[in-house]
Structure 1
Amino acid sequence: MELNRIHHLNFLENTLPDKCVQLIIADPPYFEVKGKFDFIWKSFDDYLKDVEKWAIECKRLLADNGTLLWYGHAKKIAYAQVIIDRYFNLENNLVWNKTDCQTIKGIKDYHCFAPVTERILMYSNEIDMRYINKMYYTPSLFKSVIDKLNKNITDRQQAFDLLRKDGRYSSEQSLKTQTKYKFGWGSRFDMMDEKIYNLCKQELKFEFSYEEIKNEFDLIVRNHLSKGRFFKNTLYTDVLCFSQEAHITRKYNHDTVKPETLSRVLIKTCSRPNDLILVPFAGSGTECAMSIKEGRNFIGFDIEKKYVDMGNKRVKSVTEQPSMFQIAS
């Protein structure tokens, strides 16, 4: 299927291969909230049956190290979450606090706290923190480092005696366990710190400086983690405070246009450049256009021809924008 295009097709009918996308941003109908597309089900149960179909197809398409983001209404997302939880690992129940939400103007008329938020469920797939933790329980990953540490050991008792001199272990059992970890003799490998390394260096005739051996270890870790789920965040919490950007969204004839800034943050935080992003409910095309703007690829779907045309036109306008290099030259 053609990439960087919104297809006029029910996303359940796609012909994409298994595990081909790194990020899915799903903004499905919320059920009887806003827009004609929200009122096509006879009952909430029927709607939830479709939620499960969508979740199953997302499961098929998402790479093991991928991320799923699923928008929902504050009062109804819990029902969808119960279903999606069966297929993915919940990482966050994000709150989008709409900082300029107009409902705040009628706050005195509510008999509840003014609703100014939406939810975004964030899921990992097969690879999550267990993947990272498992790394240290796979000593073979660090074979090159372990071989260097063990090269000149003739008797393991040497290592036990040296770490005993360090004095940080409270019992003989703890000493033996930690020594095994630090030399990769068992089911786990822990990189020793500089103090222990220097304590052992002369007697065990280590041929490398601590900096050299630590850099090798760190490189192995980085290469391994690069295969894991990408997530890079230094600023945001699970409460995302973003404007609805009415000055932009009003340009598009769609009932539930998502803001560009929020979409760009989600894309940059949860994917790498050139990753493939799936947008199963493309709508006005915000996520699709912002994927291009952030240097990602996307594939989108929508069952309404007018929205497909709108979204592709929006994507084209971003694609045709000159790069900063072109502007500068």
Structure 2
Amino acid sequence: MESLLDHPIQVFEGVNVVNDEKCIIKVLKPVKKKKIKREIKILQNLAGGPNVVALLDVVRDPASKIPSLITEYVDNVDFKVLYPRFTDYDVRFYMFELLKALDFCHSRGIMHRDVKPHNVMIDHEQRKLRLIDWGLAEFYHPKVEYNVRVASRYFKGPELLVDFQEYDYSLDMWSYGCMFASMIFRKEPFFHGHDNYDQLVKIAKVLGTDELYAYIDKYGIRLDPQYDELLGRYPRKPWARFITSENQRYISNEAIDFLDKLLRYDHQERLTAREAQAHHYFEPVRNPVSGTSADGESEDSGASSA
């Protein structure tokens, strides 16, 4: 049994008695009816989409009337154990698989709003990835103001941290970029803020404060006065600063270029999921050369840096 962090929800592993296959039972507990309906509707809209967890059934406890979602089972390995084992090719392969799910949900007018490793199930044996937990997902409509209290702190886009409510699908691409950065630099999480204010400070220490102010000026955003004391001035930090002997096997010019096009303050500048799939970083995945395999590039990572 696993209790999800911020929600009064419990998740269990179950067995479908009809076909004896494993499944996942997500008991929704007393959550608002509207929210439950939204999650079900979103999963139904995404049915059959690439790498989106499949909704098998919705059942209700006859006595309590509490609904549960029955979804497909993925033999997941915890990301903290799995990711360090990845080869360079594995990172490219799975990040491409995740883009397929994001591109599909965005094409259906849906923002996931909680992209993070905990919500990406990977069965490494089967090389199968599924994007799960659509409880925070929402239908996107232009010019609509959305709640900024979404996503998990380490994966929150700058737009959420500065209370910019007219965000869109590009929020998911920031979260995706944070996942990618933590994978290639072997730094989990990549932006490690202690609270939401500190989270923006951690981002500014990498992307620079001049660039942050240019972004908020462009959109007429007023920063919370609390940032006056917290922010200071930081130059932009080159991505090369994060390369170590521990992570260099994941680093290439195309990996850095790809990351740079994702982790942008300005959401309009980030690659879309469709554009990201076309990036040359994924060339080995789109056109695999014979002999390139899951362990095609697993050279020894070398001695740890001092």
Normalised to the residue count of structure 2, the TM-score between the two structures is 0.20
Return the index of the structure with the highest Cα Rg: 1
The higher-RCO structure (CA 8 Å, 6+ apart) is 1
